[in-house]
Structure 1
Amino acid sequence: MPSRLLHASRRALRLFRRLFLEGLQKAFDGASCDSFRHWNGCTIPSHSGAIWIPPARSTGWSMPSHHSRALNGVLEYVGRYTHRVAIANNRIVDIEDGKVRFQWKDYRNENRQKLMTLEAGEFIRRFLVHVLPEGFQRIRYYGFMGNRYRKQKLARCRELLGMRQSDTPVKPKEGPDYRDKVEELTGVSLRECPFCRQGQMVCIEVLAPARGIRR
């Protein structure tokens, strides 16, 4: 499994390199390139694209691995961003006077917890940096776990393993359902009408989400 992960990472990195350099080439060739030729007090020659881009295409790019020296460390580092948001609610200490105070971990100083205060606008900007653009996904499944042919390939895997194919749906476990659990924890019954407190709630119809509305 680690070799497959590394192979997928290298393939994604090659794709990123190609798209990045194509965009950079368009920037050099287009009219907007004038804004690049005078940056930070430096004058960039107009033919710089022809000098810089070809070597970048032939040079192998690599992901930064200074956070760890082993694959397990890489997985731990990447795992922080796959199933979590940019910042958990419990790290936000205070929001007052248009400023946000939150905890952060200084990995360069023995992982010590520290406090940082930012203006609300700057905090939102940094948060949105971690939001993926439209069309990107945090996790993509490949091989027999790919969504497109997963059902057929899983059936083939069972066949190769000598497992019995079964199309019968799995019966739900008998016992209390979520409504019983909610009533046990909160004392509020989801079966009882919240207005008259006498009638029983009955599911008549489940409404499908409207088209064009994203969750």
Structure 2
Amino acid sequence: MQHTLPRGFVRVRHFGLLAPRHRKAKPARCRAVLGADHDTITAPATTAELLIGMLGDDPAQCPLCRIGRMQLFEELEAHPTRRKWRLATQ
């Protein structure tokens, strides 16, 4: 079996950036290597801001007239799963 390790071997779960050692130093080193400044990296406040930044299009803008904005007024639930199945009888 290939998914089990031989006796005496230990599975390495985290290495590189994911390793728990030097957690505070690694992000700072990555920013230095990439030339990124910590102050310039900001997370978007909302999902809409993220989509506008990625796609360049406002998800709330009306797709037909491109002037108005759509508003959420009701969320529909998914169809509940059937718990009792009817058996075909003859």
Q: TM-score range by the shorter chain?
A: 0.3 to 0.5
More strand by share: 1
More helix by share: 1
